[in-house]
Amino acid sequence: MKKKITFAFIMAIFTTGIVTFAAISVNLGFTPSFLKIWLKSWGISYIVAIPAILIISPRVQLFVDYLFKDSDKNLIK
């Protein structure tokens, strides 16, 4: 469980940072208040992302396993 929580925290840092940076730069441009707006948005996104990753990722993993269950059998042959 520690590994999953650590993964969620680290993954959220990168994904929320990159996505908020891209969205704000496209929508607002690099204005004088860019850094302040970006850091505020990044913080909010990070807080939302942690539980989302912890809740959604196990379900996504199950779905991906389901989608590729036959390809795993082909590797064994």
Q: Give the torsion through C-alpha atoms of 72, 54, 15, 2, to 10 deg.
A: -90
Report field, pTM of the whole predicted structure over 0.75: no
Distance CA 48, CA 17 (A): 13
Domain spans in the chain, listed from the N-terminal domain onward: 2-76
Is the alpha carbon torsion for 30, 35, 40, 43 positive or negative? positive
CA distance 63 to 22: 28
What is the mean predicted confidence (pLDDT) over 30-47?
96
Q: pLDDT digits over 42-63, tens only?
A: 999 999 999 999 999 889 999 9
